[in-house]
Homo-oligomer: A and B are copies of this chain.
Amino acid sequence: MTTPSAKALVPFVSVDQMMQLIHHIGLAPMMQGICDRIEADFRRWPLFDKTPRLASHSDVGVIELMPTSDGEVYGFKYVNGHPGNTRDGLQTVTAFGLLSDVANGYPVLFSEMTILTALRTAATSALAARVLAPKGSTVMAMIGNGAQSEFQSIAMQAIVGITEVRLYDVDPAATAKCAQNLQNSGLKVVSCKTAEEAILGAQIITTCTADKQYATILTDNMVGAGVHLNAIGGDCPGKTELAPAILHRADIFVEYPEQTRVEGEIQQLDADHPVTEFWEVLSGTAQGRTDAKQITLFDSVGFAIEDFSALCYVRDAIKGTEFFTPLDMLADPDDPRDLFGMVNRAQ
């Protein structure tokens, strides 16, 4: 066996190592750290290479590549979305990602991102809610109690300061699972039998369901004045959660309009319907919430910069720890032009 040099070895964070890293840092502090990193990157949004994700659709799901670069570091995520997977005991969403050095193209981090995506999605939602939700929001309705629901709840607690979460899912077993997972979180957890019951008294309504269809998780009459809607589940063509009438009453904030108009709730609206880019609110060039009675909607589909931020956080967090493995991913001949000689000598 040939021993690869340091240049050939890419730090790899496995699923187990990501879980150990989370326990090492703590889930809430880690989501706070990722949130800070996303906020900093959103404030320098114009610097990034941006492109809608490259999606490969099939009848049963989608596989996507989400690249971006800030000119110094390049990152991408591979992610699938297959709503039928849970029937077969598989995850709806799995993901992994990579960072590399723009100066030479060499990867510098390879990481699982099934878990990390859950953290960055919750951190992004909480960042938007901290900025857009009514001041002093304390109650969140969590509609859809699947894999993302606990992360959303903990992030909203840590970053926005909510104290109560009201759970609803079409499947009571999902609600029971979420409630049990949150029992030691410090949140007041209320399991509800209907979506109407869940939104009672909530200033923040998060929808996160997985069916690939035009669903109506919220109807117009369910949404009153002065709430913040955090719509996560409408994230690919043909998959939405909100009645169009709600969209017409809301001020809509998005990550990257070119992508959201195809994938988000606003695919139900005209292509020129006004939306605000959320990064502009953070950087002060656009207004966020201006009125306590306003309905704000964060129509979130997930954007490559959020993954980039999360990967950068992990790259820094694993330094000096044992939560990664060097992976022999890159051929590294002594003479870079002598790839053939390296292969030959390996015999």
Contact B337 A146, beta carbon cutoff 8 Å: yes
Copies in the complex: 2
Cα–Cα distance between A60 and B337 once the two chains are bound (Å): 18
Kindly list chain B residues whose C-beta atoms are within 8 Å of the C-beta of A27: 343
Contact A65 B71, beta carbon cutoff 8 Å: no
Which A32-63 residues sit within 8 Å CB-CB of chain B? Answer: 49, 51, 54, 56, 58, 60-63
What is the CB-to-nearest-CB distance from A202 to chain B, in angstroms, rounded to a whole number?
Answer: 21
Contact A330 B15, beta carbon cutoff 8 Å: yes
Binds B, one of A88-96, A131-139, A249-257: A88-96
Shortest Cβ distance from A119 into B: residue = B343
Contact A174 B337, beta carbon cutoff 8 Å: yes
Kindly list chain B residues whose C-beta atoms are within 8 Å of the C-beta of A328: 14-16, 112
Contact B91 A74, beta carbon cutoff 8 Å: no
Residue interface mask A1-40, B partner, CB < 8 A = 1: 1101001100010111001101100010000000000000
Contact A91 B343, beta carbon cutoff 8 Å: no
Cα–Cα distance between A146 and B2 once the two chains are bound (Å): 22
What is the CB-to-nearest-CB distance from A155 to chain B, in angstroms, rounded to a whole number?
Answer: 12
Q: How large is the interface on A (under 10, 10 to 19, 20 to 34, 35 or more residues)?
A: 35 or more
Contact A67 B54, beta carbon cutoff 8 Å: yes
A222 adjacent to chain B (CB < 8 Å): no
Contact A147 B329, beta carbon cutoff 8 Å: no
Contact B181 A340, beta carbon cutoff 8 Å: yes
Cα–Cα distance between A94 and B336 once the two chains are bound (Å): 11
Cα–Cα distance between A82 and B67 once the two chains are bound (Å): 18
Binds B, one of A98-106, A230-238, A272-280, A291-299: A98-106
A333 adjacent to chain B (CB < 8 Å): yes
13 contacts between A and B (CB under 8 A): A14-B328, A19-B343, A19-B346, A56-B67, A60-B103, A86-B337, A89-B336, A90-B104, A91-B332, A114-B330, A147-B338, A147-B340, A177-B337
